[in-house]
Amino acid sequence: MDIATLRERHPDHWMRSTAIRVLALDAVAAANSGHSGMPMGMADIATVLWSKHLKFDAKAPGWPDRDRFIISNGHGSMLLYALLHLTGYEDMTLDELKNFRQWGAKTAGHPEHEYASGIDTTTGPLGQGLATSVGMAIAEESLRARFGKKVIDHHTYVFAGDGCLMEGVSHEAIALAGHQKLSHLILFFDNNGISIDGEISKTDSTDQPKRFEACGWHVQSIDGHDPEAIDAAIEAAKKSGKPSMIDCKTHIALGSSAQDTGKGHGALTDEKLIKDTREAYGWSHGPFDIPADIKSWWEEVGRRGADERAAWNERLDDLAGGKRKQFDAAMERTLPNKLTSTIRNLKKQISEDQPKDATRKSSENVLKAVNPVVKEMLGGSADLTGSNNTLTPDLGVFSPEDRAGRYIHYGIREHGMAAAMNGMALHGGIRPYGGTFMCFSDYARPAMRLSALMGAPVTYVMTHDSIGLGEDGPTHQPVEHLAMLRATPNMQVIRPCDGVETAEAWEVALRNTDVPTVLVLTRQGLPTLRTKHQSKNLVEQGAYILAEADAKRQAVLIASGSEVSVAMEAKALLEEKGIGARVVSIPSFELFAKADESYRRRVLPAGAVRVGIEAAARLGWDRWLTGERGRDAKAAFVGMDSFGASAPAEVLFEKFGITADNVVAQVENLL
């Protein structure tokens, strides 16, 4: 539908949708940066969706039963900001739009979750919004099963462009959604035929509708500017019983001289272009000037859900038994009091029994104790259930037939799993965890980074954390991954050394609700080192003195995970030689870095030589070895400076020199 037809047939709709378009043009022009074309192309869809379908109340952005709205093509952020402003979200003032992409503004270049209300997730890295939305739709199904349709019954709407659908993660997301028959998930494909390099015909020939059908989706193709077609398609999508993809033929940068071009993707800042476009739109108002009638119509849209929300509040109050309390606890991420004693009892038991479990097995034991207590736990694995030890007997399997199941067989989809977990955590009411081999954190990287950027409390269960994986060889043996994860801001990486530390690590993961946690766990069995029960959570401090020197302290051995027992062996050998050695267990660099400086100096005093031991790259260790300000200590590192190899684990530790004997040699060399 061209502009003339649209203006003639739907004059009111036209001016309302064009309010979005001109705000996008104005904000991008003011910033001299941004993306004008997507908002101009998708404004019609957004106007119909928000005014006729989207369940929301601008005055209550956190309403748990609201529909979720995600622009996976996040560069079109001004579309979202314009909608939030027009419908009356209080923090999205006109000044914020004028400050688009400036320091301190809520209107970042791409939508950043928690910068402003109404931003359901951070998007920008393409495909992430779509994959995250699958998790939101799973969360919705799961919570409906738990609390009932009266309080959980909403939809997740996603906008996505060609870029999102070209990214590989889109396949994982689409296939997972189709398999799980997530019928409350509706995707609008912004089929404008353009990407940054120009016409899509340069890069892609995929028949997207057919592709989605192959993955079990309901599919429609419409004119993405025709309000009646958009409305009808949404109605049909809701009734389809499947995830639904609406293939919307749109014009990027509609009505401008850059329409349908690669240029239209980016920042349209040319004065004449903007002037001409306003004329083509029949929009006579100045920059950032929205006529009162249009603004008030949009504000009415923003209030549309108020009654529904009031009714919902009543239904919530009517929830029987303890359900209301459970609902609030789930949404507020409040943990049951019982968790404290659950963890403490488990630790005590381990200290007494002193098993030689792999920490992945220890993690399973924690989950066996925690999952029945914390009903928000929703676990899964990327097709390594038996290896990641992520399934506990009480959970049941989430499927179209059993939405009450609390375990997801994600398939071989690490990236899709991570993004879906982000969606669950952001949706609220769910504490997701999921497993894969540590080495395949590579596949999940883009979504894991978003967990950290958004502070989404997702727990990654990364097992087979070193050459200790053994025969599968270097493709499966992480070397650089600890450094990669530790370098990521706002990510809590914990590599426990035994069952007790594993229990403490899980407790830290669950109690810290504003960061993701990566649990780095072994394949191979490890001795219990924390043999004296302490109720205090020592992992919380990041590092601590596991064993003090017996003879005069000349060395400090610092190790994490499976190498802590190597340090303990080395200590015994050193003490035999009259060299006193302290062993420091350092399960988490990040937590230790957060501890008081005085505590850190107490744990790692100047003077004694230091040896770090970790079956991984040295990068990142020097801070603790040579001292934070330098000049603290002479130091060495026992770890990996190459990729691993294929052989039994014990052979590999020997061949790569990660042994107590080598630690002793390093100490003697430094003294």
Active site residues: 414
Q: 291 in helix, strand or coil?
A: coil
Q: Which of 232, 595, 647, 665 binds a copy of itself (CB under 8 A)?
A: 647
Alpha carbon 397 to its chain centroid, in Å, reads 22
- Of 56-115, binders to a copy of itself (CB under 8 A) are 74-75, 101-105, 108-110, 112
Return d(Cα 192, Cα 518) in angstroms, integer: 39
Question: For residues 479 and 509, is the Cβ–Cβ distance under 8 A?
Answer: no
Nearest to 98 by CA among 28, 36, 43, 22: 28
Q: Checking phi first, is residue 198 left (phi over 0); if not, alpha (psi -120 to 50) or beta?
A: left
Q: Tell me, residue by residue from 353 to 392, as one string, x for binding to a copy of itself by CB under 8 A and - for no binding.
A: ----------------------------x-xxxxx-----
Stretch that binds a copy of itself, among 12-20, 42-50, 450-458, 546-554 (CB under 8 A): 450-458
# chain residues binding a copy of itself, by CB under 8 A: 118
Return d(Cα 21, Cα 79) in angstroms, integer: 8
Which is closer to a copy of itself, CB of 20 or CB of 173? 173
Q: Which of 153, 228, 231, 472 binds a copy of itself (CB under 8 A)?
A: 472
Nearest to 71 by CA among 20, 25, 22: 20
Q: DSSP assignment of 131-155, as one string?
A: HHHHHHHHHHHHHHHHH-TTT----
Q: Which of 475, 531, 534, 535 binds a copy of itself (CB under 8 A)?
A: 475
* Residue 243 binding a copy of itself, by CB under 8 A: no
Stretch that binds a copy of itself, among 4-12, 28-36, 333-341, 513-521 (CB under 8 A): 28-36
Q: Which of 333, 445, 511, 553 binds a copy of itself (CB under 8 A)?
A: 445
Counting runs of H as helices and runs of E as strands, what totals does the chain give? 27, 18
Q: Which of 153, 228, 480, 575 binds a copy of itself (CB under 8 A)?
A: 480
The verdict on whether residue 476 carries a ligand-binding annotation is: yes
The verdict on whether residue 225 carries a ligand-binding annotation is: no
- Which residues lie below 8 Å from residue 312, measured CB to CB, with a gap of 6+? 63, 65, 151
Stretch that binds a copy of itself, among 318-326, 353-361, 580-588, 647-655 (CB under 8 A): 647-655
Nearest to 183 by CA among 221, 210, 156: 156
**Amino acid present at 94:** L
DSSP 50: I
Angle between helices 306-317 and 323-331 (to 10 degrees): 130
Q: Which of 397, 545, 595, 665 binds a copy of itself (CB under 8 A)?
A: 397
- Of 114-153, binders to a copy of itself (CB under 8 A) are 122-126
Q: Which of 50, 89, 410, 653 binds a copy of itself (CB under 8 A)?
A: 410
- Of 587-616, binders to a copy of itself (CB under 8 A) are 610
Return d(Cα 83, Cα 234) in angstroms, integer: 19
* Residue 315 binding a copy of itself, by CB under 8 A: no
The verdict on whether residue 124 carries a ligand-binding annotation is: yes
- The radius of gyration of the chain's CA atoms, rounded to the nearest angstrom, is 28
CB of 192 to a copy of itself, least distance (A): 14
* Residue 211 binding a copy of itself, by CB under 8 A: yes
CB of 334 to a copy of itself, least distance (A): 27
Which is closer to a copy of itself, CB of 152 or CB of 454? 454
Question: For residues 135 and 68, is the Cβ–Cβ distance under 8 A?
Answer: no
Q: 515 in helix, strand or coil?
A: coil
Question: For residues 649 and 468, is the Cβ–Cβ distance under 8 A?
Answer: yes
* Residue 668 binding a copy of itself, by CB under 8 A: no
Which is closer to a copy of itself, CB of 15 or CB of 494? 494
Stretch that binds a copy of itself, among 140-148, 366-374, 404-412, 496-504 (CB under 8 A): 404-412
- The helix (H) or strand (E) run that includes residue 603 is helix 597-603
Return d(Cα 414, Cα 245) in angstroms, integer: 23
Q: Which of 415, 431, 495, 600 binds a copy of itself (CB under 8 A)?
A: 415
* Residue 412 binding a copy of itself, by CB under 8 A: yes
Q: Which of 36, 47, 170, 502 binds a copy of itself (CB under 8 A)?
A: 170
DSSP 121: S
Question: For residues 523 and 476, is the Cβ–Cβ distance under 8 A?
Answer: no
Beta-bridge mates of residue 55: none
* Residue 264 binding a copy of itself, by CB under 8 A: no
- Which residues lie below 8 Å from residue 85, measured CB to CB, with a gap of 6+? 23, 92, 93, 94, 96, 97
- Of 523-582, binders to a copy of itself (CB under 8 A) are none
Which is closer to a copy of itself, CB of 202 or CB of 272? 202
The verdict on whether residue 35 carries a ligand-binding annotation is: yes
CB of 442 to a copy of itself, least distance (A): 4
Q: Which of 204, 235, 332, 576 binds a copy of itself (CB under 8 A)?
A: 204
Q: How many CB atoms lie within 10 A of CB 257?
A: 15
* Residue 213 binding a copy of itself, by CB under 8 A: yes
CB of 515 to a copy of itself, least distance (A): 12
Which is closer to a copy of itself, CB of 308 or CB of 472? 472
The verdict on whether residue 464 carries a ligand-binding annotation is: yes
Question: For residues 136 and 166, is the Cβ–Cβ distance under 8 A?
Answer: no
Which is closer to a copy of itself, CB of 282 or CB of 411? 411
Stretch that binds a copy of itself, among 286-294, 362-370, 438-446, 553-561 (CB under 8 A): 438-446
Q: How many residues does the chain have?
A: 671
Question: For residues 160 and 195, is the Cβ–Cβ distance under 8 A?
Answer: no
* Residue 629 binding a copy of itself, by CB under 8 A: yes
Return d(Cα 663, Cα 564) in angstroms, integer: 12
| Tokens found for residue 269 | 């800042």
Q: Which residues contribute to the annotated binding site for thiamine diphosphate?
A: 75, 124-126, 163, 192, 265, 440
Residue numbers in the known binding site for Mg(2+) are: 162, 192, 194
Q: Mark the binding-site residues for substrate, compressed into ranges.
A: 35, 265, 360, 387, 464, 472, 476, 523
Binding-site positions: 35, 75, 124-126, 162-163, 192, 194, 265, 360, 387, 440, 464, 472, 476, 523
